[in-house]
Chains A and B, each alone.
Chain A
Amino acid sequence: MKGYRKYFGKKILWFLITLIVAVILNFVLPRLMPADPVAAITGKMAQGMTDASAVQEIYKRYEQEFGTNKSITEQFFIFVRNILRGDMGTSFSQYPRKVSDIISSAIGWTICLQLPAILVGWLLGNLLGAIAAYIRKGFDKVLLPISLFLSNVPAFGMAVILLVIFGVTLKVAPIAGGYAFDMIPNFSWRFIRSVITHYQLPFWSIVLVSIGGQAVGMRSMSIYELNADYVKYARFLGIKDRKIVGYVFRNAMLPQVTGLALSIGTMIGGALVAEIIFSYPGLGSTMYAAVTAADYPLISATTLIITIMVLVVTFLLDIVYGFIDPRVKAAQFDI
């Protein structure tokens, strides 16, 4: 148990360090952008005004409100203090909406869409991969090329294809949004049904894309393990096939968990772009809008939230990995 405590302690420490660096990077990178967003928003507000001093006044007013007139270190400490308070400033492009308000209305959609989709895709993919590895002949021959091909369709491509087939041609699913555009979010049965119908296409496009890659990876891992010495030894000992398969798949799953931890960022990235195709009201569409409008408080907040999401998921996967793989403990003390 002591080994585990040390392992988890180390993981938590790493989590905190990376979090701090992520916050710094998230603060610095958007501020390197060339466009002056305050000038842009002033330009919008001052349209048709001829009095230069009044425009100047407006500029100063916004500069003060957004804090862009202070030094960069001062801005950073204000930024950190505000994050701790949950206040991420005011959006430029959707002024006077609070950034935290925009984010909190978007994050639920993204989490509810992507987490189940990626998990379902991962589970289905692993199951198919394991079956393919176990059965090999025939089944494997058909499934592998299909999985390989599917895993290479980009997430946005799958989104567009599903949208065209089911949304535009067959007209069985809506083509845009998270719920019917004539509704206001509430807890009525009609609204929930509308959300569910809008959920189908984005969900399945993400699932279909993630199945392929996982199946291919799991198949290779399982075949590798099935040919390992311990399997042969176990067979000689006369241990039942069912039990061996259990061991094999447990060992084959381990790299898949790490693989998920490593690729979760990429997968979320692809899924965010797929969100844009469906105009799904999640973080992907929010980020797209923010990038288009040079809205840096919003960019900073969206990327920070996505980064924290990925960070937390990776951390949780690390914890899970520690529990299911006793070799982790050994590896920690190997050095």
Chain B
Amino acid sequence: MKNTLRQVFHAPKFVTGFVIFVLILLTMFIYPLVNPGNPLEMIGVGTFAKPGIYVSMYDATNTSMETLRLPDADDKRLDKLLSQTDRVSMIDWFDATGVDITGLDLSDTDTLLTLWNANYDPTVKPKGMTQAKRNYFKRLDASIKQINASDTLIVSDQAEDGTLTEVRTISKTDYVNTSQVANVKALPLGTDNFGRDVLKELVSAAGTSIQIGLIAGAVATLIGLTLGLLAGYVGGTCDDIIMFITNIFTVIPGFVLLILISYSIGQEQRGASVVAAVIGLTSWTWTARSVRSQVISLRNRDHVNLSKLSGHSLVRIILTDILPYIASYVVMAFILQVSSGILSEAQLSLLGLGPKTTEVPTLGLMMNWAMLYSAHTNGSWWAYFPVILTITLISFSLNLMNTGLDQVFNPTLRD
């Protein structure tokens, strides 16, 4: 046993998979300690806030400021304020009025502004340009002037009667240290459609999904192993009956049964563990078939025949002469069942038949919400991509472990 374990932990594939899986598990346990709280709490009011560090503007204006004279501060500010559409519109104006713009770079804000200030004339009426378009350019010019003009901002306090009292003035060279601002919130993966912290939700969801996978895998392996052993070893009518059932459940696709059963259970009773058990109940056929075929190849071996001749009981033969030979196989099958259980939950949730939505986040539910709020078409990659990546990484690590074990127990497969 000790030797086997040492061999297993020397298989590079197994170790890689194991390390990835353990890292995921560690994140699941450590992250909630660092960032405690309810993962389903809706902290954002809008939908899909972008990933990044959020600094409270209110607190920032009340924090003591330092003056920093950074040489490129003005340029950066201009770059940020002048949007891409504004730049393209400016080029349109130059085109319409015949200004020479050869070699002009759209991202070169300085040249663009000098050209604009030199050439823009609100009284010019380029040929074919509508009144509305000319007004648009007037507004654009006004906003560009504004960018150049305002040097200081005044923050004021509003009294009940509406009078404003100046609190402080902020000039362009004022900076605050983020560590001194009372409220700074890092949202590494932004928020989802409900305004929930995606990272916190994701960590919690990964935990629930792995639990679902483990329960589903355990249920499926237990049923599959029992039926496979009985069918393979006992044979005859017993084999026929079990294979009859197995054939039926292999042919009737598991996910069809999953959909039907999940739906008949109803939204109210559908907790995460119920969904897990249902997944397990519909996915054991594969294990049963493989165990049966392994047992059939084992049952005519000499040591089994010897046990039979010695008059050992059926249970004893199965436990001592058959099970140890397929144990490694069963472990591998279990690992695969766990990863397919996680996938099944995700698919089920995507159909809207996942666990009850208000209690726990699961990877599938997160995916489902992201799709319902069309995160994929409005560019909110942080709402769905980390979820896909997590599902992939979990099942990737499990499958790597499986391949590694396979190489240890099937010497012919070794590299």
Binding site for B on A (CB under 8 A): 14, 17-18, 21-22, 25, 29-30, 32-34, 136, 140, 148-149, 151-154, 156-157, 160-161, 163-164, 168, 175, 216, 220, 223-224, 227-228, 262, 265-266, 268-270, 272-273, 276-277, 287-288, 291-292, 299, 303, 306-307, 310-311, 314, 335
Contact = CB atoms under 8 A, between A and B. Distances in A.
Interface stretch (B114-122, B245-253, B320-328): B245-253
B376 interface: yes
A21 B346 contact: no
Contact of B260 (A30, A151, A266): A30
A157 B412 CA distance: 34
B255 A152 contact: no
Contacts of A220: 403, 406, 413
B256 A148 contact: no
B377 A306 contact: no
Counting contact residues on chain B (CB < 8 A from A), the size range is 35 or more
Interface stretch (B43-51, B84-92, B138-146, B387-395): B387-395
A265 B250 contact: yes
Contacts of B413: 220, 223-224
B112 to A, nearest CB: 27
A325 B412 CA distance: 22
A154 B391 contact: yes
A307 B352 contact: no
B28 interface: no
B353 interface: yes
16 contacts: A22-B252, A25-B248, A29-B260, A32-B260, A34-B264, A149-B392, A152-B399, A153-B388, A154-B343, A157-B388, A164-B376, A164-B381, A216-B399, A262-B289, A287-B259, A291-B352
A-B residue pairs, 9 tightest by C-beta: A265-B253, A269-B255, A157-B388, A29-B260, A152-B395, A32-B264, A152-B396, A227-B412, A303-B256
A216 B413 CA distance: 12
B195 interface: no
Contacts of B388: 153-154, 157, 160-161
Given A30-B260, A148-B396, A168-B377, A18 B347 contact: no
B257 interface: yes
Contacts of B385: 161
Given A29-B261, A156-B367, A335-B235, A265 B255 contact: yes
A140 B384 CA distance: 32
A148 B377 contact: no
B248 A21 contact: yes
Given A33-B263, A161-B388, A168-B377, A266 B253 contact: yes
**B-side interface mostly:** helix
A166 to B, nearest CB: 12
A136 to B, nearest CB: 8
Contacts of B340: 266
A22 B286 CA distance: 18
A29 B282 CA distance: 14
Contacts of B37: none
A265 B376 contact: no
Nearest to B400: A148
A306 B256 contact: yes
Contacts of A33: 260, 263-264
Contact of B399 (A151, A157, A287): A151
A149 B289 CA distance: 26
B410 interface: yes
Contacts of B247: 14, 18
Contacts of B257: 25, 29
Given A227-B412, A307-B252, A307-B253, 15 more contacts: A21-B248, A25-B257, A29-B257, A29-B261, A148-B399, A148-B400, A149-B392, A154-B388, A157-B388, A157-B391, A224-B412, A265-B250, A273-B350, A277-B371, A287-B351
Given A160-B384, A265-B254, A291 B259 contact: yes
A5 B263 CA distance: 42
Interface string B330-363: 0000000001100100110011110000000000
A227 B413 CA distance: 9
B126 interface: no
A134 to B, nearest CB: 14
A262 B250 contact: yes
B330 to A, nearest CB: 17
B42 to A, nearest CB: 24
Contact of A276 (B255, B266, B351, B415): B351
Contacts of B98: none
A136 B254 CA distance: 36
B379 interface: yes
A272 B259 CA distance: 12
Contacts of A21: 248, 252
A25 B254 CA distance: 12
Contacts of B235: 335
B289 A152 contact: no
Pick from B251, B351, B379, B391 the residue with the most CB of A within 10 Å. Answer: B251
Pick from A21, A33, A156, A303 the residue with the most CB of B within 10 Å. Answer: A156
A307 B256 contact: yes
Contacts of A303: 256, 259-260
Contacts of B248: 18, 21-22, 25
B362 to A, nearest CB: 13
Contacts of A152: 339, 392, 395-396, 399
A34 B350 CA distance: 21
Nearest to A292: B352
A216 B399 CA distance: 10
A268 B255 CA distance: 9
